[in-house]
Amino acid sequence: MKDQDSHFDSLLPPLKLDRRGFIATTVAAGFSLAAGPAVAQTAITTDASGLLAGKIDIPTPDGKMPAYRAAPLGKKNLSTVMVISEIFGVHEYIQDVCRRLAHQGYLAIAPELFARQGDPSQYTEIPKLQAAIISKVPDAQVQSDLDTTAAWAAAHGGNPEKLGIMGFCWGGRQVWLYADRNPKLKCGAAWYGQLAGDSTELKPKSVLSLVNDLKAPVLGAYGGKDAGIPLTDVDRMRIELAQGPAAAKASRIDVYPDAPHAFHADYRPSYRKPEAEQAWNRMLDWFKQNGL
């Protein structure tokens, strides 16, 4: 194990940010309270039989980042999918998504990307969660932590040549950004991630402004009745993709006309089973088509 960890240390990207230590030291148990009461009759529960699944710590230059990992038991050289959460962090829903992917043969890993700013599971109201944690998370920090997560996966059973990423809402936007960042990425899947937005110190670029530098194709899944992401933004993104480089032209955005925001979140009232299942199957096909 020591040799493996030494190999992992050599894969770590250089630290380029002034960071503080981690506040959250583990991933959440149960569903996020800030997301509202879980809807028991629709929440999907995937067991861990035949899987290596559970909470882990990923070493970084300034401490250990909590994460959740799921993979087929005893398998190596696996295609890896990084799973990026909504604003609620790596709670039970995200952990279950990792187990679903692991049953499809993937090493799925969800890093707790808010851990330096706080613990999302301690909040019961979205506005307070946004103000106290989410609004303080720099894109640069997130993207660097994704590099570290990818390196950890490559040193712990993942095939570094077969890396993918998926994410929901806040995480969907990060998928587009990471497809702009990492030339080794095979592909991504962005579930209703923000496309437009004003430039700020922590979020200097919108997804729409990055299309010309896209390095891996992305499949977008967006709801036609999403109150937070206008279809005009989706239409603009499609136009930009069609005029962009090869990875952009190879990307695709599917719109589910009757679906609201968070239509895949099976533990929330926003869940739409037919659209969620269709988009999930399209994503799995997308991964296969792009070499994952």
Q: List the chain pLDDT tens, one digit each, 292 residues.
A: 333 443 434 444 443 444 568 887 888 888 887 787 778 678 899 999 999 999 999 999 889 999 999 999 999 999 999 999 999 999 999 999 999 999 999 999 999 999 999 999 889 999 999 999 999 999 999 999 999 999 999 999 999 999 999 999 999 999 999 999 999 999 999 999 999 999 999 999 999 999 999 999 999 999 999 999 999 999 999 999 999 999 999 999 999 999 999 999 999 999 999 999 999 999 999 999 999 9
Is residue 98 annotated as a catalytic residue, yes or no? no
Is residue 169 annotated as a catalytic residue, yes or no? yes
What CATH number does the domain containing 110 carry?
Answer: 3.40.50.1820
pTM of the model: 0.92
Give CB contacts under 8 A, 24+ apart, made by 129-135: 129/34, 129/87, 129/88, 130/87, 133/87, 134/87, 134/170, 135/202
Catalytic pick among 226, 233, 264, 266: 226
Number of compact structural domains in the chain: 1
Segments forming the whole domain that contains residue 233 = 2-289
According to the model, what pLDDT value does residue 262 have? 97
Catalytic pick among 98, 261, 264, 266: 261
185-191: strand order across its sheet: 51-60, 63-72, 107-111, 78-84, 158-168, 185-191, 218-223, 252-256
Pairing mode of beta strands 252-256, 218-223: parallel
Catalytic pick among 91, 96, 169, 266: 169
Is residue 264 annotated as a catalytic residue, yes or no? no
